[in-house]
Copies of this chain bind each other. A is one copy, B any other.
Amino acid sequence: MKYQKIPEATIRRLSRYSRCLEEMDEKGEKVVSSAQLANKCIVNPAQVRKDLAYFGEFGIRGVGYYVKDLLNNIKKILGSDKEWRMALVGVGNLGSSLLAYKDFLKQNYTIVAAFDIDPPKVIGRVSEKLGKPVEVFHINRIKDVVKERKIEIGLITTPPSEAQGVADLLVEAEVRGILNFAPAQITVPEGFVVKDVFFTTILDNLAYLLSN
């Protein structure tokens, strides 16, 4: 298949397929058809095949897909086969919550440093399972620490008013990926990526659907 721009929705679904395939693999299932996977992920079977077709031919006609093989391929496509080292900026309420919440760093996403304007801040309770607590640095050390610890993703958990400033610092430190929890529009230069996680937006969405 010739090159095409890949829809964002496709990438989101790949992540979903990945989760389902992991479950199947754990159950010991060896082979899966697009129909079975689609059924589990609640999408159209042709959608599954088309999504995969953007990246190559992973199936065998008349058979289906080998679960392990497909899973590995999807992880390679997503880049979720490697370890991603993250920094959290803003150790307030939400920030310390996320530091304490181990499950969202599933497998390959690790917070290796945290920053704040007031660094001696106690970083929440340290979850028993979490192991070592995450070190909290003063925000002005961000550039060195990012370099030293090979950080590639930044989580912004400051108040909205500080979000753009923090984004600028992350850009300056060449942190190319930002996950923004602060409900504020932030902009970054070409080559950098921001993904927003606004609880309020999602709740507004829910509220709309419930009211209509």
Binding site for B on A (CB under 8 A): 8, 11-12, 14-16, 18-20, 40-42, 77-80, 82, 84, 93-94, 97-98, 100-104, 106, 109, 124-125, 127, 129, 152-153, 159, 176-177, 179, 183-185, 187, 193, 195, 197-212
Contacts and interface: CB of A to CB of B under 8 A. Distances in A.
A93 B99 CA distance: 10
**A-side binding surface: helix, strand, loop or mixed?**
helix
Contact of A84 (B127, B159, B184, B207): B207
A195 B204 CA distance: 11
A207 B83 CA distance: 10
A208 B153 CA distance: 12
Nearest to A130: B93
Given A79-B207, A206-B179, A210-B152, A103 B93 contact: yes
Contacts of A41: 185
A88 to B, nearest CB: 13
B153 A200 contact: no
Closest 10 CB pairs of A and B: A79-B211, A97-B97, A104-B199, A79-B207, A15-B204, A15-B201, A193-B209, A177-B206, A93-B101, A94-B101
A179 B197 contact: no
Contacts of A15: 198, 200-201, 204-205
